[in-house]
Structure 1
Amino acid sequence: MKKKIVSMLLVAAMVASMAVGCGSKNDSGNSDTKSDKGESITFMAPDWAIPSDDQLDEFTKETGIEVEVSEVGWDDIREKLATAATGNKNVADVVEVDWSWVGEFKAAGWLEPLKISDADKEDFLTLDTFTVDDEILALPYSNDYRIAYYNKDQFAKAGINEAPKTYAEVLEDAKALKASGVDYPLAMSMNAEEKAATGLMWTAFQMDGVVWNDDGTFNKDAIMDALNYYQEVLDADLVAPEDKTASGMEAYMRICSGTASFLVGPTMFVSKTQNPDDSAVVGQVEPILAPGKDGTAKKTMALPEALGVTSTSENKEAAQKFVEWYTSADMQKELNETLGSLPTRSSVLKELVDDGTIANAGAMLEASELIASPFPNGVPAYYAEMSSAMYNAINKMALGELTPEKAYEEMSSGLDQLLKEQ
C-alpha cells in the first residue's frame, strides 16, 4: 500500500523511522518475510525516485510490509534529517542519499551500514562512492556518470571527421568549430554553483586520474591542468557568456539546442539529445568516451543517487527488504521504464543497451567500466564547504577576476582551513 504524507506534517510530527538495505527482487535474503506481516516503513525521497502505486502494492503483496511515501524536494532532505536528528527522532525508514552527502551523513552517524553479497558488490557500478572506511552506507539506485557528446554534423562541417580523444584536441577542434560558424562550441558550467565544482573535478580526474592527495589536500598538478584548460577555453571565447551566470543544466542543454557542439556531462543526455521534445539536433549527437590528457580518459566520475537506512530506525529488517526489492535487477528494469532511472547494476545496464531499450548508447557501456571515485578516503564531511570554495573561485576566473594560479590558491586555502578544523 502506498500512502503519501504531506511533508510539512511529517516534519511537525517527526514520527517516521529510517532504514535501507540491498539485494535482488527475486532473492530477498535469509529473512523470513512472514515475520513482517503488519509492518510498515516510511520512504522519503524526491519525486523522481517514487515508484508507482502498483509497484508498491506488489511489494506489499510479496512481503506484507506497507510503505508510506514522503515525497520531499531533494534540497530539503538533508535539512529534515538534521532537524530530526537534533531531537533524536526518525524522519523516515528509507531515505534518499545523494553521493555528495555521504561523508556528512557518516560523520553525523545517521546511516546504518549495509551488508550485501559479493556478487552484488561486483554488480553495482558506483558502490565505492557510498563506501567509507569499508562500510557501505547506502546503495545506489540511479546512475549518472560523465561521458562526452559531440555533434557529428557540426564537426564535419568544420572539416573534422573524428571525435576528439584529448582535451587538447577538444580545444583545437572547438576553435575550428567557432571559425565554421558555431559561436560558442563548448558547453561548460562556470556559474557559482555545484555543477561548476563537479565539472572541475571530473576534468582533473579525466586528465590526470587524481583530484585529491591521500591527505585530503588538492593534487596541485591535476587541478592546475584543469584550470589552465579552462583559461584557454575562456581566452579563445569558446564558452557562451551565459554559461558563466546561468545554471549548469542550462549550459549543458546547449548541446541539445545546437548552440554547442561538444559537452562532457551527465548520461541523461544520451536520451535527451534524441528526444524531439528536448533536442533540435536529433540524430546528430553521439555519446563518446570522455577525453583525457594522452588519449581518452582512463577514469571517469559518477554522481549517483542512493538509498540509505538511518541508524535510529526501529524497522531495519523491513527497510532492508524494501531496498533489496527497490535495487533488484528486475526493479531496475521497471524503474528505467517508469521513472527513467539509469541502472546502477552493470548487468542491467548492459542488458538494456544490448536489447536497444537504451538507444543511441554510443560509448555508454565502455565508459561505465571506467567509473571510479576521485575521493581517496571517501566523500568528506566538509564536501559542501569545499565545493563552495571551488565553484566560487571558478566563477571568479570565468568573470576575469582571478588567474588560474589565484583561483587555485583561493580554493586550496579554503580546503586547508577545512582540513585544520577536522
Structure 2
Amino acid sequence: MKKKLVSMLLCAAMAATLTAGCGSDSSGESGDKSSSSGESKEITFMAPDWANPGDELLAEFTEETGISVIFNEVSWDDIRDKVSIAASGGEAAADVIEVDWSWVGEMNSAGWLEPIEMTDEDKEDMPTLETFTIDGEILAVPYANDYRIAYYNKEHFEQAGITEVPETWDEVYDALKKIKEAGIVEYPYTMPMNADESATTSMMWMAFSRSGQVFNDDDTLNEEAVMDALTFENQLVQDGFVDPASISFNGMDCYRKITSGEASFMVGPTKFVGISNDPEQCSEIGNIVPILLPGTDGTSPQTMALPEAVGITSFSENKEAAQEFVKWYSSADVQKRMYAVNSSIPTRNSVLAEMVEDGTFENAGAMLDEADLIKSVFPNGVPSYYSEMSNTMYNNINQMVLGEQTPQEAFDAMNAKVNELIEKK
C-alpha cells in the first residue's frame, strides 16, 4: 500500500506506527491517539489516487483544525476487500474511506459505515446524496459527480439535414437512421454492451429516461420499463446503428467514439464535457454538444448519477475528527479546488453553476440543467446485493446483443435473479 504523509504536524514519535502501516497489514489504523484532550488528532484516509486533494489542501486542513491526515492511496478495486478484512477483525481499514455508489448498500448491510450529519441546505445542494441515503441515514458524502447526459455531433446532424436538437428517443432513432443512410458515419450510436458494469448502468438509465423507473417500490424489476429499455437497445444493435465490435469494448472505449468522430450520438459520463473540449483527447472540438437526456414525450425529467463518495468507518476511533474532515472535504471551496487538482466534477450544484458561469467548463451545454434532474433509480436505496444483481444483468444484456437471447429471455433471467436475491435478503 502506498502511503503519503501529508501532515505538517506529525511528530517523530509516530514514525514507528507509520512504518508498521506500510506493510501488508490492511488495517490502516491511525497512529497517535494520545492528544492532551484524549481525542486523536490524526486520521487516515484511504481512497484511489483521484480522490487525493493533494499536499497543499491537506496541509491547510491541518492548519485550520489541528487534525493531521495520512492519505493511503489504494486502487479502487482493492478498497472494498481491505475494508472487509479489517472489519472482520473489528478494526478500521482507515477512518475515512472511498465509498462507490454501488458499494453503499453492501457496506451499510455489513455495518461498516457511520451515519453522517448533513444540513438541509447541503442536501438541497447535493442531489447525489440521495444515492448514499438508506432508511433516512446519509452513509457517505459524494465528492465526484458522474451523472448521465447526452452528447451529439452537431456537424453530423447538419450534414444529414437535421436542424432540431433531438428531445425524444424516437427523434434520436430517426436521426441515427438518416445519418447512417447518408453515409456520414457507419455506426452513429455508441453504448457499452460488454459483460461488465457499464452495460448494467446503461440499461438502467435507458429505462429511467424512457419510463421513469427501473424498480418497483418493493425492489422488484418493473417489467414494462426494463423490457422497453432492453427492446430498444437490442433494436439499435440489430438495425446496425452500433458497431458490433463494441460488444467487447469497455465503457470508456465506447464513449470515446463520440470524441473520435466515429459516432454521432451517445449518453455518457459528465467528464466528457471536458474531454470533448480537449484537443489531446478529441478530434471533434466544437462539434460535440452536451444536451438533456432524451425521454418519451420530451426530454427526460430525470437522470441517473454514478458518483463516488467518502464515508466514515464504523470501527474508527476518531469519528469526530473524521466527521470534521468529511465536512471540510465536501465543502464548496474544496470541491472547486479539487477540480483543479484532479478534475473531480463537483457534487454541489452551486459550485457547478459557478464553474459553468466563470468558463471553467467550456461549451457546457445542458450540463447544469441536467444536474438539477439527478435522482436515484433505487426506491429504497442501493441494495446490499447490487453486485450480484449487476453481474446477472450485464451477462444477460451481453448475450442479448450477441443474438443469443431475446429481450424477453434476458429480462426473465434478470427478474428471476432479482426475486431470488430479495428472498434471501
Offset at residue 398 of structure 1 (A): 0.8
Asked if the contact 1:178–1:238 (Cα under 8 Å) also holds between the matched residues in 2, the reply is yes
Aligned counterparts of 1:405 and 1:281: Cα–Cα separation in 2: 38
Matches within 5 A, 1:14-413: 14-16=27-29, 39-181=41-183, 182-413=185-416
Aligned counterparts of 1:144 and 1:120: Cα–Cα separation in 2: 18
CA gap 1:222/1:128 in 2 versus in 1, 3 angstroms: same
Query: Runs of 5+ in structure 2 lacking a partner?
Result: 7-17
Single out whichever of 351-360 and 107-116 deviates more from structure 2: 351-360
Offset at residue 121 of structure 1 (A): 1.5
Offset at residue 11 of structure 1 (A): 4.5
Offset at residue 151 of structure 1 (A): 0.1
1:21 aligns to what?
Answer: none
Asked if the contact 2:259–2:283 (Cα under 8 Å) also holds between the matched residues in 1, the reply is yes
Aligned counterparts of 2:38 and 2:66: Cα–Cα separation in 1: 6
Offset at residue 36 of structure 1 (A): 8.9
Asked if the contact 1:165–1:295 (Cα under 8 Å) also holds between the matched residues in 2, the reply is yes
Aligned counterparts of 1:157 and 1:227: Cα–Cα separation in 2: 30
CA deviation string 1:66-105 (max 9, x = no partner): 1111000011110111111111111100100000111000
Aligned counterparts of 1:346 and 1:391: Cα–Cα separation in 2: 31
CA deviation string 1:41-64 (max 9, x = no partner): 000000100011111111111111
Aligned counterparts of 2:161 and 2:41: Cα–Cα separation in 1: 64
TM-score by length of 2: 0.93
CA deviation string 1:191-238 (max 9, x = no partner): 000000000000000011110001111000100110110121012111
The one-letter code matched in structure 2 to 1:346 is N
Root mean square deviation of aligned Cα: 2.0
TM-score by length of 1: 0.93
CA gap 1:16/1:10 in 2 versus in 1, 3 angstroms: farther
Aligned counterparts of 2:151 and 2:279: Cα–Cα separation in 1: 17
Offset at residue 37 of structure 1 (A): 8.5
CA gap 1:10/1:317 in 2 versus in 1, 3 angstroms: farther
Aligned counterparts of 2:124 and 2:117: Cα–Cα separation in 1: 13
2:14 aligns to what?
Answer: none
Aligned-partner SS, 2:266: strand
How many residues in Structure 1 have an aligned counterpart in Structure 2?
Answer: 408
Asked if the contact 1:36–1:318 (Cα under 8 Å) also holds between the matched residues in 2, the reply is no
Aligned-partner SS, 2:362: coil
Offset at residue 242 of structure 1 (A): 2.0
Aligned counterparts of 2:372 and 2:147: Cα–Cα separation in 1: 11
Offset at residue 9 of structure 1 (A): 3.3
Higher relative contact order, structure no. (Cα contacts within 8 Å, ≥ 6 residues apart): 1
- State the identity as a percent: 53
Aligned-partner SS, 1:186: coil
CA deviation string 1:347-385 (max 9, x = no partner): 111111111111111001111111100100000000001
Please list every run of at least 4 consecutive aligned residues from structure 1 whose deviation after the TM superposition is greater than 4 angstroms. 4-8, 33-38
Offset at residue 14 of structure 1 (A): 2.2
Asked if the contact 2:4–2:73 (Cα under 8 Å) also holds between the matched residues in 1, the reply is no
